Structure 1
Amino acid sequence: MPRQKGVKFQHRSNGTSQSDHHRQNSSTASESSSEPPSPIKDVDPKRNGSVEKSDKHVEPSEYEKKKATFITRTIWTLAMISGFFGAMFAGHIYVLMVITAVLIISFKEVIAIAQVPTKQKNLPLTKSLNWYFFAITMYFVYGESVIYYFKHILLVDKVLLPFATHHRFISFTMYIFGFVFFVASLQKGYYKFQFTQFAWTHMALFLIVIQAHFMMNNVLEGLIWFFLPVSLVVTNDIFAYICGITFGRTQLIKISPKKTVEGFVGAWVCTIFFGFALTNILMRYKYFICPVNDLGANIFTGLQCTPNPVFASRPYNLFGWAGIDRIFRIAPIQFHILIFATFASLIAPFGGFFASGLKRTFKIKDFGDSIPGHGGMTDRMDCQFIMGVFSYMYYQSFIAVYKANVGSVIETAIVGLTVEEQIDVVKGLSKYLYNQGVVSGEVRYSTSNFNVRRD
């Protein structure tokens, strides 16, 4: 069929124009892309020719990030050091408050690792049960310490006496309530999750609360038994870093690749020298070496006691084995500090390695972000807990002085107490016996009227 002239195919014409228009746009885009980017946008005539700057966000450099992190870390380090010394100088009760705050934060960080929010939506009481077990454990360990160190107050008070004498049974009963509630709350389909939470909570209670309980006892036995171990761990960590970056060549343990044998050994030597120096200072002040007998005491009021013999210097012939007759006067605590420094250097770091392995298991960098620039509280306390337990066990085994029989108590009251203090002892015993119904009111009344004769 012959093609008619003058007939226009609209679709071809349109297609051609669209193709030309597309090529024109592509050419324009190509030209635009070939031009260097401009930091300003086009002039908007509606804005009277004003130039609008680009809103593009500029990422900080790696140097600026490290600088900001260093500043934040330094500020919070100084804040923690200031707070620690402030609490220690303010008195024993404030140190116990600091330990309590550390316990709460650390426990919160550790149990958060194993939590699964999607499952906890259907088990709303799981978190409450975790904190219930925490509260019961705190009640038990605090009660044990208070009863042991302040029995002279609790055992003569009619209201507090039942709580003191039945403290362990009360604690066990409250734990059983939590245990029964846990079993009753088990739901099908969530057994594994619930038992995992139960086991994880008890592990956290043991590794954090129970171990910190011994740190509290160290405070009550004398601030030196708390401050000295804490300082040794911190010092060892600092020297391990310094010696590691200076001499480190050989990797120490795979779980913590940055730790080196040279840093490990170098920190041990430096920690021993630091321990000798710090002990020589602390042993001069009764505020640090005396067991607590007044929770209201502080660095200004001080404490009074008969110091433990371990702080009294004695003559030693250190080189007698070599035939050299040279006498040195050394306090026995200086020999004990060798053991403390060695444990802080060679054993306590494994608490940190344990924490590193735990974090790697759950693929997390830090336990939390409660301390800006440092991570979580647990990241800073991983070595301190095990050091606190060792300090208490060593002190009770090799340093503490025990005198617990009727004869020694009477002798101590006669020789070591003033007349006024002896009368206070008699009044306290009579009050206790009266509250128990052992003696009559006449005896209670007669002893309460005891006074020192001034003739």
Structure 2
Amino acid sequence: MSEVSEDGSGSPLRTRAMVTTTQLDHINEKTNEPPPSSSSSQPSEYEKKKANFLVRTFWTFVMIGLFFTALFSGHIYIIACITIVQIVSFKEVIAIASVPSRARQLRPTKSLNWYWLVTTMYFLYGESVIYYFKHIVLVDRVLLPLATHHRFISFVLYVIGFVFFVANLKAGHLKFQFTNFAWTHMALYLIVVQAHFVMNNVFEGMIWFFLPASLVICNDIFAYICGITFGRTQLIKLSPKKTVEGFVGAWVMTVVWGILLTNVLMRSKYFICPVNDLGANIFTGLECEPNPAFLSHTYTLPNLFFLPEGTTFSFITEPMQLHTMVLASFASLIAPFGGFFASGLKRTFKIKDFGDSIPGHGGMTDRMDCQFIMGFFAFIYYQTFVAQHKLNYGNVMELAITGLSLEEQIELVRGLSKYLENQGVFDPEDGQQAQNANQGNGQGQDAGFEVNTQGYEPNSPMSQSLDASPAPSSATEVNTPTLTDGSIRPNIQEESSTPSASP
């Protein structure tokens, strides 16, 4: 029988024999070689843990260094960090619920998710900028219409996305599309909205951002230390390694840490002052009148029935220390449930981490799961119990621009000018000269005002009423010495016999 088949290939028997011989030769070669050791083929469990520990430690110090660099560099850098955190966290949460095969068939789905994110950030960031910098935004010709119509613009942007979503619904993919729609909105609320309040804490004072964040970190560290030291009782099934002993021990240590840290931060106006200069840093500092929460106060305890009558106990401390105890308790007792929520979410999708954004630590969301709810609580607590809701320059500007007609605004300016003129701190001629100079230089129509505050006490009563007092002429020098009784006596010195007409 020929060993070559009709089609030119080898005979089946010959071919099978050649394959068998090759396999046997391969086996013989393997038998002559020593068997590979398991240690050389793959690293041991100890080596894996060691490598992971080194990577985790390295990136821990990198994150700490970057965080404190941004913290001391200024508020704008912390806001940039918060923005990066919320974008990365949103990306990770959206990714775990996506189905790649469906996403490839529905191209607009991924783009629409990012559109929702941009629209939400535009609305929230705009609200913060208008609220904290209204004295700048409302007097700018370009920003004024954007500020006054900000919420309407944001709503229109959302409606555009909603219409686009409905227009792209496809049969056979409806369940996936609506699930993705709901999942995206949940991520926007739990991540982007709560991160927005964390950013507002930065504007209210760096201490309201740094203190809550450090309390969560401290609680996480001491929960681990106390848990491995004397932990026996399991706390919750979602996190089997969490123990009651670690939970309570971390609470005590977090309160102690918060009191010590607050005592240090209160000494720096960079931390306790609200933002009035985005260019400020730890070296330039900020200037403000401290909130009463940072000033010492005497507290007297109520009379106890078992003590002799007239016995009282009192102590002196800053109210901020009491606020810190509340924040530390929330960071210890409530904020960890944000982590438990994230653990349940990961178990639902059978994943270990939300992502791999931070080597050795998993995803950004794994590190920030407790920070979002803590920052949200800190903002609500500050606005409810600490903030001073006073009328300021920005609020007055907002009321005047949005609540008064153009004629009423002009009358308001005239009335304020008259008041300042009678107080001796404003010269209308100087304002007119500055306005003419600006117009001549092509710098717009804004009038410049030169205010002389020498010898002026804001708390002194006016010596003349606004309507009864004539405006001093341009050739008249007005001095307002303060009398011993607190009143002001105008001292007018004529410099020329023929005063010019008042502008």
TM-score class, shorter: 0.7 to 0.9
Rate the CA distance shift 1:34–1:270 in 2: closer, same or farther, 3 A.
Answer: same
Deviations 1:415-435 (CA, angstroms, capped at 9, x unpaired): xxxxxxxxxx99xx89x9898
Deviation at 1:120, TM superposition (A): 1.3
> Following the alignment from structure 2 to structure 1, what is the Cα–Cα distance between the partners of residues 213 and 25?
71
Equivalent position SS for 1:316: strand
Alignment check: 8 A CA contact 1:110 1:367 kept: yes
Question: CA–CA distance in 2 between the matches of 1:126 and 1:310?
Answer: 48
Identity of aligned residues (%): 64
- The offset of 1:325, in angstroms, is 4.9
2:345 aligned with 1:363, yes or no? no
What is the aligned counterpart of 1:384 among 371, 374, 377?
A: 371
Unaligned runs of 5+ in 1: 1-23, 40-53, 414-424
Is 2:351 aligned against 1:354? no
Alignment equivalent of 2:63, drawn from 80, 96, 103: 80
Aligned to 2:76: 93
SS of the residue corresponding to residue 316 of structure 2 reads: strand
Give the equivalent residue in structure 2 for 1:237: 220
Counterpart for residue 439 of structure 1: 410
For the residue of structure 1 that corresponds to 2:275, the secondary structure is coil
RMSD: 3.4
Cα deviation for residue 450 of structure 1 reads 2.6
Q: Which moved more, 1:151-160 or 1:241-250?
A: 151-160
Local SS of the residue matching 2:410: coil
Name the structure 1 match of 2:241.
Answer: 258
Shift of 1:318: 5.0
> Which among 102, 114, 136 is matched to residue 119 of structure 1?
102
Structure 2 gap ranges (5+) = 1-20, 418-430, 436-446, 455-476, 478-503
Q: Deviations over 1:36-95 (max 9, x none)?
A: 7288xxxxxxxxxxxxxx9x9632222221111111001100011111111010000000
The aligned residue for residue 284 of structure 1 is 267
State the partner residue of 1:293: 276
Q: Secondary structure at the match of 1:258?
A: strand
Q: Distance in 1 between matches of 2:294 and 2:369?
A: 30
**One-letter amino acid of the counterpart of residue 240, structure 1:** A
2:382 corresponds to which residue? 395
Residue 200 of structure 1 and its aligned partner are, at CA, apart by 0.5
Tell me the amino acid that sits aligned with residue 272 of structure 2: I
Partner of 2:427: none
Residue aligned with 1:294, SS: coil
Say if 1:390 and 1:117 are closer, same or farther in 2 by CA, change over 3 A. same
Q: Distance in 2 between matches of 1:74 and 1:125?
A: 40
State the partner residue of 1:178.
161
Q: Report Cα offsets for 1:83-111 as digits up to 9, x if no partner.
A: 11110100000000000000110000000
Q: Give how far 1:242 is off.
A: 0.1
- Shift of residue 207, structure 1, vs aligned partner: 0.3
Distance 1:25 1:299, change over 3 A: closer
Aligned to 1:314: 297
1:452 equivalent in structure 2: 451
d(CA) in 2 for partners of 1:244 and 1:438?
A: 64
1:204 aligns with 2:187: yes
Amino acid at match of 1:299: I
Q: Indicate conservation of the 8 Å contact 1:244/1:262, yes or no.
A: yes
Equivalent residue letter for 1:304: E
| Alignment-mate amino acid for residue 385 of structure 1 | F
Alpha-carbon distance change, 67 to 124 in structure 1, aligned in 2, over 3 angstroms:
same
Give the Cα–Cα distance (whole angstroms) in 2 for the partners of residues 379 and 343 of structure 1: 19
For residues 198 and 248 of structure 1, do their structure 2 counterparts lie closer, same or farther at Cα, with a shift above 3 Å needed? same
> Shift in Å at residue 352 of structure 1?
0.2
SS of the counterpart of 1:439?
Answer: helix
Contact 1:290–1:303 under 8 Å retained in 2 = yes
The yes-or-no answer on 1:155 pairing with 2:142 is no
Tell me by how many angstroms 1:35 deviates.
6.7
Paired letter, 2:119: I
Choose 111-120 or 24-33, whichever is displaced more: 24-33
Whether the aligned pair in 2 keeps the contact of 1:221 and 1:291 (CA below 8 Å) is: yes
- The amino acid of 1:134's aligned partner reads L
C-alpha offsets along residues 381-415 of structure 1, whole Å, 9 cap, x if unaligned?
000000011000011001111123xxxx59x99xx
Instruction: Measure, in 2, the Cα distance between the counterparts of 1:168 and 1:376.
Output: 33
Q: Partners in 2 of 1:107 and 1:36 — Cα distance?
A: 53
Write the deviation string for residues 431-452 of structure 1: whole angstroms up to 9, x where unpaired. x989899539x97974824323
Q: Which residue of 1 aligns with 2:323?
A: 336
Judging changes above 3 Å, is the alpha-carbon distance between structure 1 residues 124 and 315 closer, same or farther for their aligned structure 2 residues?
A: same
**SS of corresponding position for 1:158:** coil
CA–CA distance in structure 2, aligned partners of residues 163 and 97 of structure 1: 22
> For each residue in 1:99-155, what CA deviation from the matched residue of structure 2 results, as whole angstroms up to 9, or x when unmatched?
000011000000001111111111111000000000000000100111000000011
**Residue in structure 1 matched with residue 487 of structure 2 by the alignment:** none
Letter in 1 for 2:449: F
The one-letter code of the counterpart of 2:370 is C
Residues 452, 368 of structure 1: alpha-carbon distance in 2 compared, 3 angstrom cutoff: same
The amino acid that maps onto 2:347 is: R
Q: Please list, as runs of the form range in 1=range in 2, the aligned pairs for 1:15-34 lying within 5 A after superposition.
A: none
What one-letter code is carried by the residue in structure 1 that aligns with 2:369? D
- Which residue does 1:44 correspond to in 2? none
Asked if the contact 1:310/1:333 (under 8 Å) is kept, the reply is yes
Q: Helix, strand or coil: the match of 1:378?
A: helix
Partner SS for 1:249 = coil
Return closer, same or farther for 1:229/1:436 CA change in 2, 3 Å cut-off. farther
Does the 8 Å contact 1:158/1:435 carry over to 2?
no
Q: 1:317: how far off?
A: 3.9
1:223/1:191 CA distance change after superposition, 3 Å: same
